[in-house]
Amino acid sequence: MQMPKKRKMTKYSKNLNNMNKITISLFSFLALISCKNKSTAEENIKREKYTIDSLKIMDRVKERSEKLLEKTRKDFYLDTTGVSKSPIKVTNSRLIKKDYSNYKDIELTFVNVSEKKIQAVRFEWYGENSFKEPAEMGSYSLLGEGGGFTDEIINPGRTRKSQWSISSVDAKRVIAARAYEVAFTDGTTWKLRND
């Protein structure tokens, strides 16, 4: 049996062989790149989805934190610890609509329940709008909160009424109002909290 003779490669067949190798290499390279790009694209999509989910979670956490802070501030004003020892008792608090505008002010009625003359009183209050959210109550930094003072002499057992301009457009009700610091004519003071 005779062995087949090897064919001699012509210049043309060598070039064709080289072209085939280049074409195969090029297709292999393109396939590799497209797989890498596909995986990079998938990774980018996953990364974007993760980022969007993270932002949604952060928004929910922020919203819950703000609601918790509002609840905590409201609870602070509803906490009556120490109020029973106050020399001033707030008997009424109400919003008063200003003439010729939609703005409201606040009016407090209060009594000196101590046995001393009072020289000055500092008050604080908390109010809400129709949606039970903190309303504009005179504080420039925190919604819901406000405060004022009076320096009229108040004899023991006497009742006073004072108004403060809070220029609120959304307040619907005063939730709590109280004295937090009182100065007596004898130079002594009383404080609701010792901050």
Position 12 scores a pLDDT of 45
CA–CA separation, 114 vs 123, rounded Å?
17
Q: What's the pLDDT band for 179 if we cut at 50, 70, 90? A: very high
The architecture (CATH level 2) of 83-191 comes to Sandwich (2.60)
Q: List, for residues 107-137, the tens digit of each pLDDT value.
A: 999 999 999 999 999 999 999 999 999 999 9
pLDDT of residue 7 exceeding 90, the answer is: no
CA–CA separation, 95 vs 170, rounded Å?
11
- For a pLDDT cut of 70, what percent of the chain falls above it? 63
CA–CA separation, 147 vs 77, rounded Å?
12
Position 11 scores a pLDDT of 45
Q: Are 64 and 159 in contact (CB under 8 A)?
A: no
Position 41 scores a pLDDT of 65
pLDDT of residue 177 exceeding 80, the answer is: yes
- For a pLDDT cut of 90, what percent of the chain falls above it? 50
pLDDT of residue 35 exceeding 60, the answer is: no
For 144, the 3-state DSSP assignment is coil
| Edge-to-edge strands, sheet with 88-97 | 88-97, 104-112, 159-168
Position 76 scores a pLDDT of 77
Q: Read off the tokens for 159.
A: 């009742």
CA–CA separation, 155 vs 160, rounded Å?
10
pTM: 0.64
Mean pLDDT computed over 15-42:
60
Sequence spans of domains, the chain: 11-78, 83-191
Q: List, for residues 52-86, the tens digit of each pLDDT value.
A: 666 666 666 667 666 666 667 777 777 778 888 99
Mean pLDDT computed over 1-12:
50
